[in-house]
């Protein structure tokens, strides 16, 4: 087990109201008291460093932007690499919490060494409080539109709730990796996915060794579906799932594909049963 974090289960986090940010992306976050060697103890989150220096994230549970570590906490933080993790590019943040006598620890991981360098450099810039000296026109981004475009919608199926997520329709489906070129087949991976009893889109993640909810019932209720032209895609029968903007947050579309047109029609029909958008044709 990694060093235990201070118990923050009942903490109420403040909402992020910033209109600019220094850096954003996705990070794996280790659960409180989680084992760094256990894939199931990690959750992937959309995160960003606000212009004021705070570390923020998008909460799937509350469907809003929240502050994980405020600017004052991050300004005094110590950031260091963590060995022995099941994920490469792991680092921790140690900072003074609300009770300044206690040091709190948060553990994160990045997908690539490049992302690790970018996140840690930006956080250390925040700690040094040298952000005003940067080229703000290049490094700062207007979030009045809040294009923190949320890319990660996945949440785990909680223990004891498995029956609600049992499949009513289950089949193979190709999924395009976020922010990649759909013309390259290397960017597509096949998964067994299903629509659950409660209207969620679910799959089993081999990487995380657990069932994950890709879209909630509320997501599918609001979603619209668009067939894509196969000429611009490595796979023959693609379609996109789009979620509407929610307040000041936008959601990145998700690209899927099927082996046959009949399979695509079946998926769109099943989606339509749970949503108001229904399939649309390009």
Q: What percent of the chain has pLDDT over 90?
A: 42
User: What's the pLDDT score for residue 5?
Assistant: 38
Round the average pLDDT of the chain to a whole number and report it: 81
Contacts of 179 (CB under 8 A, 6+ apart): 151, 252
The residue among 224 and 279 whose pLDDT is bigger is 224
Burial of 161 (0-12, 13-18, 19+ CB in 10 A): exposed
β-bridge mates for residue 42, sequence order: 30
Domains of the chain are 20-142 (2.30.29.30), 155-280 (2.30.29.30)
Q: pLDDT class for 71, splitting at 50, 70, 90?
A: confident
- In whole angstroms, what separates CA 220 from the centre of its chain? 17
Residue 67 has pLDDT above 80, yes or no: yes
pLDDT of amino acid 128: 53
| Dihedral sign from CA coordinates of 51, 53, 59, 65 | negative
Q: Please, which residues have CB within 8 angstroms of residue 237's CB and are 6 or more apart in sequence? A: 230, 257, 258, 259, 260, 261, 263, 264
Beta carbons of 238 and 279 less than 8 angstroms apart: no
Mean pLDDT of the region 236-251: 83
- Determine the number of helices (DSSP H) and then strands (DSSP E) in the chain: 5, 17
The greatest distance separating any two alpha carbons of the chain, rounded to the nearest whole angstrom, comes to 62
What pLDDT was estimated at residue 179?
A: 77
pLDDT band at 275 (very low <50, low <70, confident <90, very high): low
Query: 126 — phi, psi (to 5°)?
Result: -65, -40
| pLDDT greater than 90 at residue 52 | no
pLDDT value of position 247: 63
Question: Which band of pLDDT confidence, cut at 50, 70 and 90, is reported for residue 29?
Answer: very high
| Of 204, 270, 268, 273, residue with least CA distance to 242 | 268
Mean pLDDT for 191-212 is: 88
* Cα-trace Rg, the chain: 20
Q: Which of 56-70, 74-88, 160-174 has the lowest mean pLDDT?
A: 56-70
> Considering only CA atoms, which of 265, 274, 263, 267 is closest in space to residue 197?
274
Residue 81 pLDDT exceeds 50: yes
Does 239 or 3 have the greater pLDDT score?
Answer: 239
What pLDDT shows up at residue 21? 78
* Distance of alpha carbon 261 from alpha carbon 257, whole angstroms: 10
Residue 147: the pLDDT is 46
* pLDDT tier for residue 127 given thresholds of 50, 70 and 90: low
pLDDT band of residue 248 (cuts 50, 70, 90) is low
């Amino acid at each position: 087990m990694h060093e235990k974090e201070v118990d923050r289960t009942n903490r109420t986090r403040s909402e992020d109201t910033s209109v600019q940010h220094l850096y954003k992306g996705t990070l794996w976050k280790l659960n409180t008291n989680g084992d760094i060697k256990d894939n199931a103890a990690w959750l992937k989150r959309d995160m960003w460093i606000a212009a004021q220096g705070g570390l923020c994230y998008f909460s799937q549970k509350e469907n809003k932007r929240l502050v994980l570590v405020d600017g004052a906490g991050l300004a005094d933080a110590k950031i260091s690499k963590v060995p022995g993790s099941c994920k490469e590019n792991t680092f921790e943040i140690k900072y003074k919490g609300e009770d300044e006598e206690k040091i709190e620890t948060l553990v994160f991981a990045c997908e690539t060494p490049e992302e690790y360098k970018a996140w840690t450099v930006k956080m250390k810039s925040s700690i040094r409080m040298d952000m005003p000296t940067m080229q703000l026109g290049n490094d700062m981004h207007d979030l009045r539109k809040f294009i923190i475009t949320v890319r990660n919608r996945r949440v785990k199926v909680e223990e004891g709730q498995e029956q609600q997520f049992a499949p009513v329709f289950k089949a193979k489906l190709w999924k395009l990796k976020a922010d990649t070129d759909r013309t390259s087949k290397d960017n597509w991976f096949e998964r067994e996915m299903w629509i659950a009893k409660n209207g969620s889109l679910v799959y089993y993640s081999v990487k995380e060794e657990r069932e994950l909810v890709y879209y909630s019932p509320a997501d599918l209720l609001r979603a619209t579906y668009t067939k894509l032209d196969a000429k611009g895609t490595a796979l023959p029968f693609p379609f996109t799932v789009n979620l509407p903007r929610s307040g000041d947050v936008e959601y990145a579309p998700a690209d899927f594909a099927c082996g046959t047109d009949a399979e695509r029609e079946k998926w769109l029909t099943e989606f339509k049963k749970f949503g108001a958008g229904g399939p649309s044709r390009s």
